[in-house]
Amino acid sequence: MGNGKMDKRERHEPCAEGAFSDIASPIVDEAIEQAKGIATAPSAEGLHQLRITMRRLRSLWWSYRPLLDVGENTRQRELFRSLADSAGKARDYDILIALLKLQQKGGDALPPEITDARQAALEAGSEVFSNPEMKTLLLEALSQASGALVARENRHPLQVFSEGRVAASEKQLRKRARRAAKAKRSDVSAFHDVRKAGKKARYLLELFGPVLSAGHRKTLKRLKKIQKRFGALNDVVASEKLLRDNAPLLAALGEPERTLKWFKTERERHLRAAAALLRKDWK
């Protein structure tokens, strides 16, 4: 049995279960406000920011997975993933348009089919987030997870818990980075897995930053390199897939084979750059 001073310190030490609501509530509130803004004035940038917010929520829920019901936690993270996907489609078209302009080197204007598809994606995203049900779903997810954590009998010190979950995300990132470094250059999915793991680790470093030790700063520095180089690769890969999945859009460009050849060349160039980064920094 500890002395009175120790007991008092333990009682006042922040616990992971109690801190969850303090961390999650402002992010949920931010998502709700962003959705209101999109309903009022739809924009691809607004939807992109909301997609980032949904990814932060998904990462936070992942970090608390060991303390929550697995099935419910998975369902809620899937909700955040689905909303993030809905928010990102207009932004994906903006990236595609930018790459097509780069390919054409300031040549002919893009066909209206491209800009029409972008507008349709913007309107679809706006419709999803204009629905009052989205606010209800987010608040229910927050309430359910917060209630389940508060009801737990065992308590975990926030710093110990945070260090452990951030370390787990960093371990996952290193594992995927080493796998991608050994993968064939054509294995785009292996590089995409690195990017996703990097995003998760970065979000957790930001969310738990105030209670983490200084040792994680090195990882954050390396993550910035991944974000830049792997983000450029993902832009090319996602845009190429967007064209291949929409044959009418590809045909509207006039020279589909030439366009796809350009994307293939860019994809291979960015894959080489990503692989070089992994060999250098993630051995």
pLDDT in tens, 181-216: 888 777 899 999 999 999 999 999 999 988 988 877
Tell me the C-alpha distance between 82 and 99, whole Å: 26
All structural domains of the chain with their residue ranges: 13-156, 158-283
Q: CATH assignment of 13-156? A: 1.20.120
- Pull the structure tokens for residue 211: 């209670």
Q: Which pLDDT tens digit goes with each residue over 20-62? A: 999 999 999 999 999 999 988 989 899 999 999 999 999 999 9
> C-alpha distances in angstroms, 196 versus 34, 59, 81, 85?
23, 10, 12, 14
Write down the pTM of the prediction: 0.89
Tell me the C-alpha distance between 105 and 103, whole Å: 5
Give the ranges where 131-246 is alpha helix by DSSP (H).
Answer: 132-150, 158-182, 188-207, 217-244
Longest dimension (CA), the chain: 79
Tell me the C-alpha distance between 165 and 158, whole Å: 11
Residues in Cβ contact with 125 at an 8 Å cutoff, skipping those fewer than 6 apart: 38, 42, 47, 86, 87, 89, 90
- Pull the structure tokens for residue 205: 């470093």
- Give the amino acid at 186: S
Q: Which pLDDT tens digit goes with each residue over 140-192? A: 999 999 999 999 999 999 999 999 999 999 999 999 998 988 887 778 999 99
Please give the mean pLDDT across all residues of the chain.
89
Tell me the C-alpha distance between 268 and 257, whole Å: 17
